[in-house]
């Protein structure tokens, strides 16, 4: 599988608009970032400007009435891989990256992913793939894109962590506590930044941008044009006036409906400070010329500090994990056994659904449960993952 030959720069026609879009070099824009951080708005705008979202798409709903801009196949693909890796979408464990990385290196998955991408290049030479689960499998997608002769490029959305946490709790009815959601935001953004850093160090032509959600809502044309120029997205650079008008109708500044601050979350002090410092450094990446070695160094130190904090928390929470495991086992042991041989209650109360039992494990503890214990709990309660 190879990409169509790109026109050498010395042979580019005087009028760039004369280039047939079918002759644009193959490129895949991967929109990454935490859920509820503006990834749907970014993907939707890129689609309006001419990039192709592989069909069919996830259907819009009340949590995202303007649409998700997500290929349904990619969402199902990621869900399956996350289940196999035993990783949650909002997983705060640093080790979760090892588990998804292990799945990403499977040759079967690389072939499947590359074949799917290849099939959609028949529609357009520039694709956009977005899903909140995407960041867990960036290495898989990078390899798949290169195998199709395409250049992978990355746009990571940035939104204040307190707003991300509040939006998840509001629109997803998320019962995970603020501390867990803030930790999962840290885990996601710190590792996504590191995983995409190769885009500015490698020689394959790939690139990356960081986009503030607020900037996208305030002046989407300026923000998208900067992304188009940095990433070399030809459809964006050659957008027509009617597409710009459609973009203005699509962007709604009122989309930023959650505006709470970090202080509102009541986080433990070390977690609060790490989150605040990480947000400050990530913000620098969105500034012109801000993607610098000094910022990378600071983010590396913050990532190491987060891993240290998580390991300490995990080490001292063992008693809570054991207590949660014992509570589930007691619950299972107390289930009535209706109709058992030898006589029993003729009409026993129905057993509690497996999901209800799993939900009785405090959500803040689930990510800290060691893998061996999690596997036992999954088997016991009949759930894919706790």
What pLDDT digit, counting tens, does each position of 308-352 carry? Answer: 999 999 999 888 888 888 888 888 887 765 444 444 444 444 444
Phi, psi of 145 (to 5 degrees): -65, -45
Identify which of 339, 277, 287 has the alpha carbon closest to the alpha carbon of residue 309: 277
Omega cis (within 30) before 56: yes
pLDDT band at 18 (very low <50, low <70, confident <90, very high): low
pLDDT band at 286 (very low <50, low <70, confident <90, very high): very high
* Residue bearing the bigger pLDDT, 26 or 253: 26
Q: Is 248 exposed, middle or buried (0-12, 13-18, 19+ CB in 10 A)?
A: exposed
CA distances 326 to 322, 332, 334, 362, 382, Å, are 6, 10, 12, 13, 16
pLDDT for the residue numbered 258: 62
Strands 126-130 and 208-212: unpaired
Phi, psi of 175 (to 5 degrees): -90, 0
Phi, psi of 208 (to 5 degrees): -145, 155
Identify which of 27, 231, 26, 191 has the alpha carbon closest to the alpha carbon of residue 223: 231
């Amino acid at each position: 599988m190879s990409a169509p030959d790109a026109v050498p720069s010395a042979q580019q026609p005087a009028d760039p608009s004369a280039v047939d879009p079918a002759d644009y070099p193959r490129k895949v824009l991967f929109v990454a970032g935490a859920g509820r951080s503006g990834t749907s708005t970014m993907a939707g705008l890129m689609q309006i400007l001419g990039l192709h979202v592989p069909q069919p798409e996830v259907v819009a709903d009340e949590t995202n009435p303007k649409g998700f801009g997500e290929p349904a196949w990619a969402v199902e693909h990621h869900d399956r891989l996350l289940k196999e890796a035993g990783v949650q979408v909002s997983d705060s464990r640093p080790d979760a990256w090892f588990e998804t990385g292990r799945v990403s290196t499977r040759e079967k998955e690389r072939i499947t992913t590359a074949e799917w991408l290849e099939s959609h290049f028949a529609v357009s030479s520039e694709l956009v793939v977005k899903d909140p689960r995407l960041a867990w499998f960036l290495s898989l997608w990078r390899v798949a894109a290169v195998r199709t002769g395409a250049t992978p490029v990355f746009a990571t959305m940035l939104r204040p962590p307190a707003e991300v946490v509040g939006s998840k709790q509001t629109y997803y009815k998320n019962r995970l506590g603020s501390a867990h959601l803030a930790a999962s935001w840290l885990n996601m953004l710190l590792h996504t930044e590191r995983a995409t850093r190769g885009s500015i160090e490698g020689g394959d032509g790939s690139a990356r941008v960081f986009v503030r959600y607020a900037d996208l809502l305030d002046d989407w044309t300026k923000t998208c044009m900067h992304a188009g120029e940095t990433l070399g997205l030809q459809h964006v650079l050659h957008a027509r006036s009617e597409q710009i008008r459609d973009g203005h109708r699509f962007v709604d500044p009122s989309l930023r409906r959650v505006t709470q601050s970090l202080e509102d979350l009541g986080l433990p002090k070390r977690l609060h400070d790490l989150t605040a410092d990480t947000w400050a450094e990530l913000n620098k990446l969105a500034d012109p010329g801000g993607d610098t070695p000094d910022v990378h160094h600071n983010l590396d130190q913050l990532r190491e500090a987060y891993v240290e904090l998580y390991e300490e928390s995990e080490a001292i929470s063992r008693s809570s994990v054991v207590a949660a495991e014992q509570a589930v086992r007691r619950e299972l042991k107390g289930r009535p056994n209706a109709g058992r041989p030898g006589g029993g209650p003729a009409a026993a109360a129905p057993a509690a659904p497996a999901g209800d039992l799993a939900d009785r494990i405090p959500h803040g503890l689930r990510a800290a449960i060691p893998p061996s214990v999690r596997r036992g709990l999954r088997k016991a309660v009949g759930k894919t993952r706790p």
